[in-house]
């Protein structure tokens, strides 16, 4: 297969560490917000001015006092491949990083990355962004009182850009300040919020703004951080955040944790120009809990596909008696494994609620089902069927079509230096989809390796090496380990399902 015929399946990734792409000026995102001034209370020195007038912010001192001690500064030593950008975006992750030198040619460089994190338990567990700690060989955490501790990585989830780390050390305080998770569903558009973090290495910084939107999908996770099933339902705010805020806390006016700051709409300088985006706390809580309990994230699936948001045009085309909701036209590749079909849903139903909560767009449906539930959980799905509302109790399944907990696949990962890739076993769902009995899936392409040179995408499934049919990742790793000379690899492009052949010389 010629390189010219090989389609790259992902944009060049930018890790948290704050290299921000330009373009926000194209959408006019740089206007200043009006400043609201309040007068001091004349009744006595030190008295606080309060107001109940709608639209006027209240006193944020208590919220800042409550949240600031639980927000930490994370510094990580990383080795990454730094390369020239190939496509601009107005959205980016934000952090601070210093790799030195230019980025005109792809190369591996060692440097320091910086971001924020939120302590979520008194024994030192911290939630942050995956892109803050990705590729870190060493983590240092600076508490709000300037004490420094080493930390270890507990687990990551690129699909939500969330990670959990844990403080280490013999002198670790017994009862660290922490923030419990609040219910992010309770936050309202127009409500005042605070962003707490460490922008530009300025520790313990607090800014204020309002919630501009909820359930916002900006298409950033699918292009970066190796996310294969990205879940985006961001809380959008106009609270000022900048490089270094990534992984910090978004709290309401009571100081309750309602999100983890993750991305900004940035200008050419990579700094804040109008909007920031946070992963909602309900999603963060689920991911963190799964990482601590299972070692990976458990997600429930309805088993439906060909989903579309219902509008007037679609309702007319499909003769639907519904004006909103999510229409679906298939039970997926394997209908017999569909949780929705087993519960009694029919093709053409319009999903309008999950557990009593309105569903008006796809990010909200994904959040309410896959992001907040695991296989085996039962959710109440309300559908509009021919103008009538019907409730169905749906027992969610995993990607393999069962209700069992999905075991961590870390033990099946195989790193193959000769081709520069990490391989994993294919899932049962992938076997069914591509009609194969086995294979080895490329889950990471290592910098400067043979597969990177061949432009092999993440997700590529190796089915044969030379004349040997591949059953799993271990077999592929054994065949390729220390391999030199000519090699022929046959596999499947996950985006098209087509078969391709790679030929080359391993050195």
pLDDT tens digits, residue range 416-427?
Answer: 989 999 898 888
In the prediction, which pLDDT does 71 show? 96
Strand partners, 93: 263
| Distance (Å, whole) CA 12 – CA 86 | 7
Which of 92, 161, 238, 493 is catalytic? The answer is 161
Q: Establish whether 246 is a catalytic residue.
A: yes
Coil, strand or helix at 426: coil
In the prediction, which pLDDT does 227 show? 59
Is residue 101's pLDDT more than 60? no
Which CATH number fits the domain 305-395, given the four candidates 2.30.42.10, 1.10.3720.10, 2.40.360.20, 3.40.640.10?
A: 2.30.42.10
DSSP 63: H
Contact status, residue 416 vs residue 477, Cβ threshold 8 Å: yes
Phi, psi of 286 (to 5 degrees): -65, -45
Lowest mean pLDDT, pick from 79-88, 145-154, 197-206: 79-88
Phi, psi of 294 (to 5 degrees): -115, -15
In the prediction, which pLDDT does 226 show? 56
Beta strands in 413-460 (DSSP E): 414-416, 421-425, 440-445
- C-alpha distances in Å from residue 109, one per residue of 92, 98, 153: 21, 10, 21
In the prediction, which pLDDT does 317 show? 94
Structure tokens at 63: 């919220």
Is residue 132's pLDDT more than 50? yes
| Distance (Å, whole) CA 400 – CA 394 | 16
User: 274-284, pLDDT tens digit by residue?
Assistant: 789 999 999 99
| Distance (Å, whole) CA 179 – CA 281 | 11
Structure tokens at 257: 């944790």
In the prediction, which pLDDT does 241 show? 85
Contact status, residue 128 vs residue 257, Cβ threshold 8 Å: no
| Distance (Å, whole) CA 292 – CA 273 | 36
Tell whether domain 66-297 is in CATH 3.40.47.10: no
Q: Establish whether 25 is a catalytic residue.
A: no
Given pLDDT bands bounded at 50, 70 and 90, which one contains residue 100? very low
Structure tokens at 265: 């709409």
Ramachandran category for residue 65: left, alpha or beta (phi over 0 → left; psi -120 to 50 → alpha): alpha
User: 216-253, pLDDT tens digit by residue?
Assistant: 888 777 654 455 678 888 999 999 888 888 999 999 99
Which of 67, 144, 217, 246 is catalytic? The answer is 246
Coil, strand or helix at 348: coil
Coil, strand or helix at 212: strand
Coil, strand or helix at 391: strand
Contact status, residue 340 vs residue 264, Cβ threshold 8 Å: no
Which residues, at least 6 apart from 31, have a Cβ–Cβ distance to it below 8 Å?
274
Contact status, residue 459 vs residue 494, Cβ threshold 8 Å: yes
Report CA torsion sign: 127, 133, 138, 143: negative
Contact status, residue 468 vs residue 479, Cβ threshold 8 Å: yes
What is the CATH number that goes with domain 410-506? 2.30.42.10
| Residue count of the chain | 507
In the prediction, which pLDDT does 259 show? 97
Lowest mean pLDDT, pick from 22-31, 159-168, 358-367, 477-486: 22-31
Is residue 212's pLDDT more than 60? yes
- Check for a shared fold between 66-297 and 305-395: no
Task: Report the percentage of the chain scoring pLDDT > 70.
Answer: 78
Report CA torsion sign: 383, 386, 387, 388: negative
User: 312-346, pLDDT tens digit by residue?
Assistant: 999 999 999 999 999 999 998 889 999 999 999 99
Q: Establish whether 131 is a catalytic residue.
A: yes
In the prediction, which pLDDT does 268 show? 52
In terms of pTM, does the model score above 0.85? no
Neighbours of 387 (CB within 10 A): 9
- C-alpha distances in Å from residue 446, one per residue of 80, 108, 300, 422: 10, 11, 30, 7
What Rg value do the Cα atoms of the chain yield, rounded?
24
H or E element at residue 83: none
Which of 76, 92, 116, 131 is catalytic? The answer is 131
Helices and strands, number each (H, E), in the chain: 9, 27
Q: Residue ranges of the domains in the chain?
A: 66-297, 305-395, 410-506
Is residue 29's pLDDT more than 60? no
């Amino acid at each position: 297969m010629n390189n010219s015929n090989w389609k790259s399946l992902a944009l060049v990734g930018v890790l948290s560490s704050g290299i921000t792409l330009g373009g926000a000026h194209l959408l006019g995102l740089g206007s200043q917000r009006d400043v609201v001034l309040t007068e001091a209370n004349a009744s006595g020195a030190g008295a606080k001015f309060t107001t109940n007038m709608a639209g006027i912010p209240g006193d944020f001192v208590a919220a800042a006092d409550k949240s600031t001690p639980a927000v930490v500064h994370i510094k990580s030593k990383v080795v990454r491949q730094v390369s020239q950008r190939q496509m601009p975006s107005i959205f980016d992750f934000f952090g601070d990083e210093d790799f030195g030198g230019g980025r005109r040619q792809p190369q591996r460089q060692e440097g320091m990355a910086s971001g924020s994190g939120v302590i979520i338990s008194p024994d030192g567990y911290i939630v942050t962004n995956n892109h803050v700690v990705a590729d870190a060989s060493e983590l240092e955490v600076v508490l709000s009182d300037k004490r420094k501790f080493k930390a270890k990585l507990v687990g990551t989830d690129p699909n939500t850009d969330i990670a959990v780390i844990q403080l280490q050390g013999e002198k670790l305080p017994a009862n660290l300040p922490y923030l419990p998770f609040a219910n992010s569903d309770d936050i309202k558009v127009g409500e005042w919020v605070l962003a707490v973090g460490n922008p530009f290495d300025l520790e313990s910084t607090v800014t204020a703004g309002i919630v501009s939107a909820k359930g916002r999908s900006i298409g950033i996770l699918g292009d970066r951080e190796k996310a294969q099933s990205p879940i985006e339902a961001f809380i959008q705010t106009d609270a000022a955040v900048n490089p270094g805020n990534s992984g910090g806390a978004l709290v309401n006016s009571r100081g309750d944790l309602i999100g983890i700051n993750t991305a900004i709409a940035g200008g050419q300088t990579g700094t804040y120009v109008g909007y920031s985006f946070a992963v909602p706390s309900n999603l963060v809580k689920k991911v963190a809990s799964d990482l601590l309990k299972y070692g990976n994230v458990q997600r429930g699936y309805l088993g439906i596909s060909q989903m579309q948001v219902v509008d007037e045009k679609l309702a007319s085309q499909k003769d639907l008696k519904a004006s909103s909701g999510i229409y679906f036209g298939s039970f997926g590749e394997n209908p017999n494994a569909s949780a929705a079909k087993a519960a009694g849903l029919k093709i053409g139903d319009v999903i309008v609620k999950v557990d009593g909560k309105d569903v008006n767009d796809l990010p909200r449906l994904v959040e309410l089902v896959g992001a907040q539930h695991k296989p085996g959980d039962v959710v109440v799905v309300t559908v509009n069927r021919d103008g009538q509302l019907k409730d169905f109790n749906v027992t969610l399944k995993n990607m393999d079509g069962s209700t069992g907990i999905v075991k961590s696949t870390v033990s099946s990962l195989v790193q193959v230096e000769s081709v520069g890739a990490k391989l994993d076993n294919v899932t049962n769902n992938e076997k069914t989809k591509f009609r194969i009995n086995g294979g080895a899936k490329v889950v990471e392409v290592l910098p400067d390796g043979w597969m990177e040179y061949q432009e092999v995408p993440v997700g590529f499934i190796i089915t044969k090496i030379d004349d040997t049919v591949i059953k799993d990742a271990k077999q592929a790793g054994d065949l390729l380990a220390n391999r030199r000379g000519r090699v022929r690899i046959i596999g499947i492009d996950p985006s098209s399902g087509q078969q391709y052949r790679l030929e080359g010389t391993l050195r």
